[in-house]
Amino acid sequence: MTRGQLPGLLCVLLAEALLAACSATAPSATTSTATPSTSPSAGPTPEFRVASIVALGDSVPRGTNCDCRPYPDLTGDQLSAAAGRTVPATNDSVAGSTTDGVLGQLTSQQDVMADVGPADVVEIEVGANDVAHFPGCGTSLDCYTPDLPQLEKNLTAIVARVHDLTAGHPVLVVLLDYWSVWLGGAYAAEQGQAYVATAQELTDQVNGAIRSVATASGSAYVDLRAAFKGPDYSYDETHYLSDDGDHPNAAGHQQIATAAVGVIESALQP
């Protein structure tokens, strides 16, 4: 995939401030698109640097079912190592959250809004729970797809709200997608071929919506299906999953962080 770039002026200014810090490249196993976001009211400054990260979303960034440091913290660790200074990460994700839930956080929860306001990077991964598998629909794809337009609308509003809250300084919004919106790897295969086929198609459509919002809003985009399954999505991702088959294990969170850092650093390079 192609990688987007910050608008010219911001690229130049960011490059001067971050050239020494941002020397790492994106992992070769990760296919991603990075289109940096800008706020119309936020002018770049020569002093701009990634000093803080805020994560929003569901149980994946929360670190559910993994007794490990979740990927938002690991993103901060990797950026800290590259920059030679601490880049703290605040994790405001909520297990089970939907796009409605994240939008609600950004409009009614004062602590979350206070965290997002000064953030330099906001990582957002949400949408799988909007189309969560349930017995009433089973593996009928048509039963889930009507929820996709609202998912995309909400995600667009989430990104816009982040820009509202961070108005006055540059912010990089990073949208992450899913390797599977349902169970993955061998855990999905155990549910039968119909489950696997619907999960794959529904993941295609959810990820397409996330990618579309990233492109339209000038946000960075991280293709986690490529990070987990390879550039042609053909690898078995089971080794990145915890024993529930739904959430990443420690290796999975490390893989996500590496993919996200590659996109962030690419976005901040000229």
Q: Is the pLDDT of residue 226 over 80?
A: yes
Q: Is residue 125 classed as helix, strand or coil in its secondary structure? A: strand
Q: Tell me what percent of the chain is helix, strand and coil, each rounded to the nearest 5.
A: 50, 10, 40
Nearest 5 degrees, angle CA 17-CA 21-CA 26? 120
Q: Is the dihedral of CA 230, 61, 249, 186 positive or negative?
A: negative
pLDDT in tens, 171-188: 999 999 999 999 999 999
pLDDT at residue 42, rounded to an integer: 37
Predicted TM-score (pTM) of this structure: 0.84
Task: Of 32-36, 50-54, 121-125, give the lowest mean pLDDT range.
Answer: 32-36
Give CA–CA dist 189/171, Å, rounded: 40
Domains and CATH numbers, the chain: 8-267 (3.40.50.1110)
Q: At what angle do helices 193-217 and 148-165 cross, to 10 degrees?
A: 40
Q: How many Cα atoms within 13 Å fall on the side-chain side of residue 220? A: 27
- Strands of the 172-176 sheet, one edge to the other: 32-34, 220-222, 172-176, 121-125, 53-57, 89-91
User: Token digits for 211?
Assistant: 């990618």
